[in-house]
Structure 1
């Protein structure tokens, strides 16, 4: 186990790293006279790809992912791989078009609702979407604080109090975003992404060496003998049912990789040119495959070593293996791995939390304060107001994290599910000129209610997630559009904008 001093030093060093990035980026922007903007940016493809990956992964990498593979087995990994392959297709037909329209409008979009408003011209829809995206943000941010605090608590054998760790991590996250904004977060993600991927595979290889002499085939043979359910449905915990085999990859392919607010703005707004967008589409599946294969191997090795962990303990399989197996093998290696586990969790967790917090603050500032309540903030005070909003939201997520549910997985998947019904509105808005704002509003409400019923009434949230809400929203969008009308002038400029952008970015290149 690590001493509390080691963890506090790691916290301090990481805080210095984040503040250094924030200072560097803000000073560079001032020299380039780009002005101050905490909420929007434009970055080259290496940073775009890494900030997307880093903000996407969150607590899955060192907690929820390995724990899910421990409980769900190989079938769960197959589900992961199936939706990863869909990303280039979905991104091409949706997010690349979102990017084109944003570029033609001068890159002024800040929140996902900005794009929807451009198409439907409905203030009511903007407000509803803002509230839904904000609802998705809080559980996800809280899941990061929960995970990192659990890591500190476990790594020190309880020497660092869970609540204290939540407070410290929450303050680190909030201060960084207040000072640096979205471009600082994207730049830090490039380093953090490479760091957590490297640490993940270091842990995989070290655990395989300690547990099975470096032989993956020996680990697989052990599983085949002791836990054969790993290789079949519904998995060791009976968790990957027929419903979840459909509901889970569907939820991730749409809700997780596209519709969560922080990945929506990264995939649709951040790229500095069309080449960056294409790089994002092609490279994201490769990097996701590398990360998820690493987390699957951790679950595999962990289950091969010990098969009777309680459900809540499965998300701590990495520190469990380090404490119970690596320490006896080589105490120095155990310390190195525990530090790597904590730093990796900090890196990948804060990447996601920073991204979510920035977008959530934009939702409050733009969708709610400016466009719903029509409060106009003077230009010179926007930065200060945004920082106040970020601080309030960060503290709100911190409060939720102080009393979390049993599994981090639960927080994450609810966030994913609640935004899934917004996808049909996006698709029909892009491709169907007869889609109306009335349909978009009703579809959004119906889909959201169905997701809440899936979780709270039917208790099917752990298998269907947001799929029922998505199907209900799709049907509602079509039916209501057929029975309502919207002034064609509302969407005329939207489609003209897309045609101009298409000519500028595609046809000119050809």
Structure 2
């Protein structure tokens, strides 16, 4: 074990500093009591524009993103840039959906996406399916935050086998669990400031300094193109076989981004509708940063950087960016960069565990185990479940092969998309029958899993569950073109919903009762009460003030 002591010391100091901030966050804007999910799980629903911008940005652009996107560009070339357009088009797509969801959630005290579905369609079963979907899709996402930390730890020389080799990660997540338990959502909100500032500084320095050492951008692209040509993998441009996959993956990922429970949690913690509007307009600034991060993959090719090896002898592509920094920068700056990645895992992991815990508490515990649970009891259960979720994430990384964990995350995107009809479209219309939504969920989920089964890995070593690129030849087409399985699955889901709804209504099958009112979707900061019965103005509900 050859430890990089300077890097390790700087990493430890910065990591310890933000951990201390996590514990102090419990006193930041401290309410009368933290024993309520509005406070522990949503920060009092009172975060302004700047806090929300850092929090949501830190939630969506994770540590795994910072190591995985350039690693994908390193291995697949232009196809790895799908993350850039998908994060750009996501915000205009979800603009009105999130504003309406925030308003109705504020009016009714909804904490989770499943809370809204339960009230909108009057179906505990549909809400349970949405909650389980969110839990299943979120768990591997939390585990993958450990991949970012593990990548920089390896590059600093902290390697080993068995539990001892994972001890640094266990310690890091134990600290995360402790301050999340105490401070709730306030902890990642406060830490997000430090995390994002560090990431911006590190990446801007990297894209300015490294090209000067490699002969400029012309030389970088030329060397990357040569490397792709010699390897026969990827390229600087898309080819005819992966263009549809690129487009469909970008669109499908954009549709899925704000269906994840942790994304909704960040939005519901905002103070007002205007806060969300400003954030949806400003968050694409992170996409600019993401584009710069992706270019690190080309820089690694040009520099001849080699990833570290896994115990089985295969390259660990997640270490390509840490190794690039090791090669190009001094130890002290590399330590700062590694700390930025490590801290970048804390914010999303905390929010994801809180969101998953709230789903269990509100939509399983209170719905099926203890219907008369008090706010304090709900908060206690959520705190405990958030600990269990983090333990589960650590176990996943220790027990499961790394590549399998990554594939689980790809599967997670296909899974979470199946909540789009009831959650995203449900905000705009109540036309769907609850039975049709349940049927569509099963059809989309079943079809999505079947398609994922036929998705081979890029290296051809695994014929099943090797990614999310579904070969159209499996549908009888004579082509090598692939398409994102999630987009096909949600199309099947919607088809079933649209066909079943009029059939069930014609058969007079009992539907659920809508527990929301039209004006609920336009409630804003300062609107504490619903208008008295009979005072609603239909024209105001029909013409949004947003």
Q: TM-score range by the shorter chain?
A: 0.7 to 0.9
CA deviation after TM superposition for structure 1 residue 244, in Å: 2.1
Is the 8 Å Cα contact of residues 60 and 66 (structure 1) preserved in structure 2? no
CA deviation after TM superposition for structure 1 residue 494, in Å: 3.8
Match for residue 259 of structure 1? 259
Match for residue 303 of structure 2? 305
SS in 1 for 2:166: helix
The change in CA–CA distance for 1:506 and 1:471 in structure 2 (over 3 A counts) is closer
Give the helix-richer structure, 1 or 2. 1
1:498 to 516, 521, 531: 521
2:446 to 443, 449, 454: 449
Is the 8 Å Cα contact of residues 118 and 494 (structure 1) preserved in structure 2? no
The change in CA–CA distance for 1:3 and 1:505 in structure 2 (over 3 A counts) is farther
Match for residue 59 of structure 2? 55
Match for residue 169 of structure 1? 172
Match for residue 434 of structure 1? 431
CA deviation after TM superposition for structure 1 residue 122, in Å: 0.7
Give the whole-Å Cα distance in 2 for the aligned partners of 1:250 and 1:406: 27
Is the 8 Å Cα contact of residues 160 and 166 (structure 2) preserved in structure 1? no
Is the 8 Å Cα contact of residues 83 and 249 (structure 1) preserved in structure 2? yes
Give the whole-Å Cα distance in 1 for the aligned partners of 2:5 and 2:165: 12
CA deviation after TM superposition for structure 1 residue 153, in Å: 2.2
SS in 1 for 2:159: coil
Q: Does 1:113 align with 2:111?
A: no
Give the whole-Å Cα distance in 2 for the aligned partners of 1:61 and 1:428: 28
Superposed, 1:226-237 pairs within 5 Å as 226-227=227-228, 230-234=235-239
The CA deviation string for residues 379-406 of structure 1, in whole angstroms up to 9 with x for no partner, is 4444433322221121111111113434
Give the whole-Å Cα distance in 2 for the aligned partners of 1:424 and 1:380: 33
Superposed, 1:176-187 pairs within 5 Å as 176-187=179-190
CA deviation after TM superposition for structure 1 residue 322, in Å: 3.3
The change in CA–CA distance for 1:153 and 1:224 in structure 2 (over 3 A counts) is closer
Match for residue 98 of structure 1? 101
**RMSD in angstroms over aligned alpha carbons?**
3.0
TM-score, normalised to structure 1, is 0.87
Match for residue 403 of structure 1? 399
Give the whole-Å Cα distance in 2 for the aligned partners of 1:169 and 1:498: 41
Is the 8 Å Cα contact of residues 59 and 262 (structure 2) preserved in structure 1? yes
Q: Does 1:276 align with 2:275?
A: yes
Q: Does 1:358 align with 2:362?
A: no
Q: Does 1:321 align with 2:341?
A: no
Match for residue 244 of structure 1? 245
CA deviation after TM superposition for structure 1 residue 59, in Å: 2.9
Give the whole-Å Cα distance in 1 for the aligned partners of 2:512 and 2:166: 54
Match for residue 533 of structure 2? none
Is the 8 Å Cα contact of residues 207 and 292 (structure 2) preserved in structure 1? yes
CA deviation after TM superposition for structure 1 residue 97, in Å: 1.4
Is the 8 Å Cα contact of residues 106 and 523 (structure 2) preserved in structure 1? no
CA deviation after TM superposition for structure 1 residue 223, in Å: 2.8
SS in 2 for 1:493: coil
Match for residue 38 of structure 1? 40
Give the whole-Å Cα distance in 1 for the aligned partners of 2:68 and 2:136: 21
Unaligned runs of 5+ in 2: 456-463, 470-483, 525-537
Is the 8 Å Cα contact of residues 143 and 411 (structure 1) preserved in structure 2? no
The change in CA–CA distance for 1:153 and 1:46 in structure 2 (over 3 A counts) is same
Give the whole-Å Cα distance in 2 for the aligned partners of 1:17 and 1:499: 37
CA deviation after TM superposition for structure 1 residue 457, in Å: 4.8
Match for residue 147 of structure 1? 148
The CA deviation string for residues 321-363 of structure 1, in whole angstroms up to 9 with x for no partner, is 234x33xxxxxx4312431232111121111111100101111
Give the whole-Å Cα distance in 2 for the aligned partners of 1:286 and 1:16: 26
The change in CA–CA distance for 1:92 and 1:421 in structure 2 (over 3 A counts) is same
Give the whole-Å Cα distance in 2 for the aligned partners of 1:423 and 1:233: 29
CA deviation after TM superposition for structure 1 residue 3, in Å: 3.6
The change in CA–CA distance for 1:172 and 1:456 in structure 2 (over 3 A counts) is farther
Is the 8 Å Cα contact of residues 450 and 469 (structure 1) preserved in structure 2? yes
Give the whole-Å Cα distance in 2 for the aligned partners of 1:431 and 1:67: 39
The change in CA–CA distance for 1:159 and 1:312 in structure 2 (over 3 A counts) is closer
TM-score, normalised to structure 2, is 0.81
CA deviation after TM superposition for structure 1 residue 439, in Å: 1.4
Give the whole-Å Cα distance in 1 for the aligned partners of 2:274 and 2:10: 41
The CA deviation string for residues 455-502 of structure 1, in whole angstroms up to 9 with x for no partner, is 235547431242222111111111121112376771263435236669
Count of residues in correspondence between the two structures: 490
1:188 to 187, 191, 195: 191
The CA deviation string for residues 305-328 of structure 1, in whole angstroms up to 9 with x for no partner, is 2288687432211222234x33xx
CA deviation after TM superposition for structure 1 residue 287, in Å: 1.8
CA deviation after TM superposition for structure 1 residue 10, in Å: 3.2
Match for residue 476 of structure 2? none
Q: Does 1:482 align with 2:490?
A: no
Match for residue 330 of structure 1? none
Unaligned runs of 5+ in 1: 327-332
CA deviation after TM superposition for structure 1 residue 219, in Å: 1.3
